[in-house]
A = this chain, B = another copy of it.
Amino acid sequence: MITLTEENYIKAIYHLSSNGEKTVNTNAIASAMQTKASSVTDMIKKLSEKNYADYKKYQGVTLTDDGKRVAVNIIRKHRLWEVFLVEKLNFSWDEVHEVAEHLEHIKSDKLIDELDAFLEFPTYDPHGDPIPDKEGNFKHIEKIVLAKAEVGSAYKCVGVDDTSSKFLKYLDSNHIALGTIITVKHKEPFDNSIKIALENSEIVVSQSVAKNLYLKKI
């Protein structure tokens, strides 16, 4: 039996290690989980005992194949529920994360497979993140961050790094959504702000915005 808390730690480690590869520090996990390093040490010992993680004292932690499987499955559930909330229950993209954080822990294979079918097997969630299929496979989307885009080129908005309500509402109020076409007009060296052209307007976005918006060249 795997507990809800273990699942959340495994998911955090997975995200911090960019897909289960590189080792993750205790402090990084503590800050991601909003807890203390001592709690993390206890938990990674447990995950290691249960064979979800490999861990050597003071050397950080990586997920085992079992651990990665668990992580990807929770991410699959999280993202499918997010699609459900937006597509069927009139949630906006800035409202779904918190609820999905809980729904992702409901344990029923039939539930999630039927939900997947009901939603017609979506491949991306409302934030542009790919949804793993039943076997855990998903394609890594080709994307760059706005901060690295080149002046003069046109891009399509395909995702966000920060999924906080604040950031998503900022995008809403500036008429930026997934699929929006953006042309980079000017990069200001002084503060790294960027002037971009949308369909009917030109706006200047700050460096923090530019680092959190994912684009694909078109």
**Which residues of A (95-118) have their CB < 8 Å from a CB of B?**
95, 98-99, 102-103, 106-108, 110-111, 114-115, 118
Does the CB pair A99–B89 fall under 8 Å? no
Q: How far is the CA of A49 from the CA of B95 in the complex (A)?
A: 34
Does the CB pair B110–A95 fall under 8 Å? yes
Chain multiplicity (copies): 2
**Which residues of A (54-106) have their CB < 8 Å from a CB of B?**
85, 88-91, 95, 98-99, 102-103, 106
Does the CB pair B107–A102 fall under 8 Å? yes
Does the CB pair B108–A90 fall under 8 Å? no
Partner of A91, one of B88, B95, B106, B114: B114
Apart from the given pairs A89-B114, A91-B110, A99-B108, 10 other A-B contacts in the complex at a CB distance below 8 Å: A85-B111, A88-B118, A89-B110, A91-B114, A98-B108, A99-B106, A99-B111, A102-B106, A102-B107, A102-B108
CB of A209 to closest CB in B, whole Å: 27
Number of interface residues of A (CB under 8 A): 18
Give the secondary structure class of A's interface. helix
Kindly list the 4 A-B residue pairs having the minimum CB-CB distance in the complex, ordered from nearest.
Answer: A89-B114, A99-B108, A102-B106, A99-B111
Q: How far is the CA of A114 from the CA of B91 in the complex (A)?
A: 9
Contact with B along A109-140 (1 / 0, CB 8 A): 01100110010000000000000000000000
Q: How far is the CA of A85 from the CA of B111 in the complex (A)?
A: 8
CB of A126 to closest CB in B, whole Å: 15
Residue numbers in B under 8 Å from A85 (CB-CB): 111
Q: How far is the CA of A106 from the CA of B107 in the complex (A)?
A: 13
Given contacts A91-B114, A118-B88, contact A106 B103 (CB under 8 A): yes
Does the CB pair A118–B89 fall under 8 Å? yes
